[in-house]
Structure 1
Amino acid sequence: MESILIVDNQVSVCNLLKRYLTDNGYTVDTSTQATHAIQLMKDNHYQFVISDYRLPKMEGNVFFHMIKSISPKSRVIFTSNQVNLKNVVNMIREGASSYLAKPLNPDELVEVLKQKPRSVPSPSASEKKEAAVEKMPDYVNGESKRAKEVEFKVGKVGPTNFSVILEGETGTGKESYARLIHHCSERKEKPFVAVDCGCLSRELAGSELFGHEKGAFTGAVTHKTGFFEMANGGTIFLDEIANLSSEIQMALLRALQEKIIRKVGGTKEIPIDVRIIAATNEDLFSKSGTTGFREDLFYRLSEFVLKVPPLRERGDDIYQFIDFFLKKTTLELGQKETPRFTDEAMACLVEYQWPGNIRELKNAIRRASLFANSKNLIPASALPEMIRTSKLRNASLSLSREGNSEPVGKQEYNERKDLKSVALMAESEKIKEVLEDVKYNKTKAAQKLNIHRKTLYSKLKALNISY
């Protein structure tokens, strides 16, 4: 007699399916929580797992990998009220048996169990569009020297189990490189769990990362599986790791050294096998040893440090990114033909320094694509003002350096005596003074000016300060 585990957050659905399938000769257990279902699978073997794709606090793709890590031979059937073709394609490709739309037809479900067909709902026009976007690669490396260096290093460290720190400005694609490292490793069939440490509050970070036991604190009404346990056997990506508190850093260090975790409020030590890839837009080496980041944790994480270059240092790679984002946006918008930028617009894109890097470029292109004219050309006027005016500012600055002893910016400030101009001039001089004092170390300059590093970069661009 074949056994089935039904996982659905609605008790009524669990009970209905259990009665019907029991009448058809199956042994059935039910659960409304992914964590409870995982425990059942550890204690019992099920030929089939029928699960809603969107469970409380756990997405279907993560749950699927946990099922396969515990019981590789179990056949998984996903159900959902809103069938997203992207999820269907991904899960079927990963090895799920089927993906059925709710409300379920019990007879159809039994037919799936008996014949084991891979039944995919007929896609709508919007779902077909999503599938076309899904076929496009998520990663563009580029042909520049800097890009090739990073690609070479990824190829070297990917197959290892080294912990990796990815250093780079915001928007440079650190998560894409983390996924590429994971894909190059023997863990590629296991979960890749991405965590934004900047979104973890000091109070709940321990619970989110390591899980908690029921009753561990006020509001902990159920057991919770943490991100580390979800990623067991695979890779966990800790983005903006510098935001973690010292207490969590200590717990993380112990998890790395001992390869065990302990849930908040728990006494049982849980063994884990997780590769850590951390990302930061700060200089962790300079920050370590201070009250900001634990030095011992830095040395434990930095088995391999990979510096991701900003877009402005990648030369002609920008043309590849422009072409890639144009094509992807065309598919998303359902346009028949990919638009092109006018020469003027392209010059603006190339001249701009992109403080927000690849993410900023992507957003600018997506917005500009909405304003393609009747000839399918995107004019410069479709670009944000800061990008349109960047080319003119750079030309003026270049001219001032060639023919004038005094920068254009300073000439303009001398001609304009309004309060705003005087304040901007004073701000510019102060930033230059601090930069010279710290030998142009942006992190130290931002700390000395008591502003965020990203704010400093924005001011350097706005005030035309070369560095």
Structure 2
Amino acid sequence: MKTLKILVVDDEPAIRQIMASVIAREGHDVSVAEDGTSALEQLTANEYDVVFSDVRMPDFTGIELLKRAKAANVEAQFIIMTAFASVNTAIEAMRNGAFDYLTKPLRPEDVTHRINQIADFIGLKSENKVLRGLVMGIGDRQCAMPSESMAKVDRLIQKVAKTDSTVLITGESGTGKGVTAKTIHQNSLRATGTFIPVNCGAIPEHLMESELFGHTKGAFTGATKAKKGLFEEADGGTIFLDEIGELPLHLQVKLLHVLEEKQVRPVGSERFIDIDARIVSATNCDLQQMVKDNKFREDLYFRLNIFNIDLPSLKDRKDDIKILIDFFVKREGKKLGLTQHFDIEAEALELLENYQYPGNIRELENIIARALILADDDIIRTTDLPNQMLDQSKPTISGDKTLREQVRDFEMQIIKQAIADSNDDRRVAAEKLGLGLSSLYRKLDE
């Protein structure tokens, strides 16, 4: 069961103490307040799942607290407690949005029963939110792609998501392996469980075993208390092992045991712990070559690679670039607090669409974020793009075109740049280029 954050509001110290003891014994976080005013301050400053509130308090009633909390957009579920139970009290409490009510003297089993009911209710709300998001396609981390290569990837995701198969995601750096892993989780039967991303290349080797599998108190110097490992944290959900090729050989053996036995053993413990976590891994390395070089275990490779999703590089999916540009302009603008609409000049859009993107989607995302910050008059221009894009746009010798055609392409780039630098004033651009206005138009029409 999820650990809930619970607030007890009562003007009697003994009631607060007893309630706090019962709730803490069930493993939940509990706070107390002596009246409505202090309770409302806590509710607006912190997030709570449940509020147990007395009806009669020195400043205002529990039902008034409920009304004020709802008006302040507090989402906690209220249980109203009263020693003066009546049908009218119950009706008023429920009418104003209370989850339920209890009569004093309280019985511990009634308190725990209501908490369990609310925990189930919160779980259902979370599950419904996930399902609505999947049905409606809601999410700011991804968007639909028109390219055939990504349509194939989407089909593979939909096929494997509903299973519990291990998945190995491969592809160049920046192609979206993390987003793909999260999408698999969100479309799976584990969607309401935890998604735990782990960067195997970012954890120091001497800490990796305890991070993954946990440790007991005193297992090593500095282990002052027992700690759950990331596999335990992912129980019931999905653990995503990014950069799996960076995993040391001695830990590859232990990961193989987890895959085969569904168990982990914390550092310093003699006891194995059963875990139920789906494993999705990713790499930009050639694991098959690493197996040949004895840098990666062959048996582990085959267990991880039951189902492979290989992500294409961005330069091989040109059909997706324009949609990604529009998507990142909106999303990055929102993240930067820029609410206005941005336009992209034609020359800048051409550069964005034809750039090779060695850093793939991540590089495009960063380029757009930078351009939004630099853009004047809410227009992204070539001057807002990084130098490497401008350098790549310089003309190159092509064996597929005649000299005249290549000269013509180079000339057109110069003309378009001059027009962009002149704020689309073609008369000014013609003067800069030493051309008559009619000559400029003629060259544009050729």
TM-score (norm 1): 0.62
| Higher radius of gyration, 1 or 2 | 2
What CA deviation, in whole Å up to 9, does each residue of 1:267-311 have, x standing for no partner? 111001111100000111221243311111000111101101111
Give the match for residue 29 of structure 2. 50
Specify every segment of 5 or more residues in structure 2 that has no aligned partner in the other structure, as ranges: 32-41, 52-61, 67-75, 81-97, 101-117, 119-137, 405-446
Give the match for residue 385 of structure 1. 387
Cα gap change, 1:200/1:22 in structure 2, threshold over 3 Å: closer, same or farther?
Answer: farther
Give yes or no for the alignment of 1:26 onto 2:19.
yes
> Per-residue deviation at 1:331?
1.9
What CA deviation, in whole Å up to 9, does each residue of 1:163-204 have, x standing for no partner? 010001111111111111112211111111100111111101
Deviates more, 1:107-116 or 1:276-285: 107-116
Q: Distance in 1 between matches of 2:162 and 2:380?
A: 43
Give the match for residue 151 of structure 1. 154
Give the match for residue 302 of structure 1. 305
Give the match for residue 253 of structure 1. 256
Specify every segment of 5 or more residues in structure 1 that has no aligned partner in the other structure, as ranges: 32-39, 53-78, 99-106, 119-134, 405-467
Superposed, 1:10-409 pairs within 5 Å as 22-23=15-16, 25-28=18-21, 45=26, 49-50=28-29, 96-97=49-50, 112-114=78-80, 115-116=98-99, 136-374=139-377, 376-392=378-394, 395-398=395-398
Give the match for residue 426 of structure 1. none
Deviates more, 1:246-255 or 1:284-293: 284-293
State the identity as a percent.
35
Q: Is the 2:5–2:50 Cα contact (8 Å) retained in structure 1? A: no
> Per-residue deviation at 1:50?
2.9
RMSD: 3.6
What CA deviation, in whole Å up to 9, does each residue of 1:340-385 have, x standing for no partner? 21111111111211111111111110110012222x2111111110
Cα gap change, 1:6/1:303 in structure 2, threshold over 3 Å: closer, same or farther?
Answer: closer
> Per-residue deviation at 1:82?
7.4
Q: Is the 1:352–1:390 Cα contact (8 Å) retained in structure 2? A: yes
2:334 aligns to what SS in structure 1?
helix
1:219 aligns to what SS in structure 2?
coil
Q: Is the 1:192–1:236 Cα contact (8 Å) retained in structure 2? A: yes
> Per-residue deviation at 1:243?
0.5
Superposed, 1:406-417 pairs within 5 Å as none
State the AA in 1 paired with 2:166.
Answer: S
Cα gap change, 1:235/1:282 in structure 2, threshold over 3 Å: closer, same or farther?
Answer: same
Cα gap change, 1:111/1:292 in structure 2, threshold over 3 Å: closer, same or farther?
Answer: closer
Q: Is the 2:217–2:225 Cα contact (8 Å) retained in structure 1? A: yes
> Per-residue deviation at 1:390?
1.3
1:309 aligns to what SS in structure 2?
coil
Q: Is the 2:243–2:283 Cα contact (8 Å) retained in structure 1? A: yes
State the AA in 2 paired with 1:346.
Answer: L
1:335 aligns to what SS in structure 2?
coil
2:357 aligns to what SS in structure 1?
coil
State the AA in 2 paired with 1:195.
Answer: V
Aligned residues: 322
> Per-residue deviation at 1:138?
1.6
Q: Distance in 1 between matches of 2:357 and 2:14?
A: 58
State the AA in 1 paired with 2:21.
Answer: V
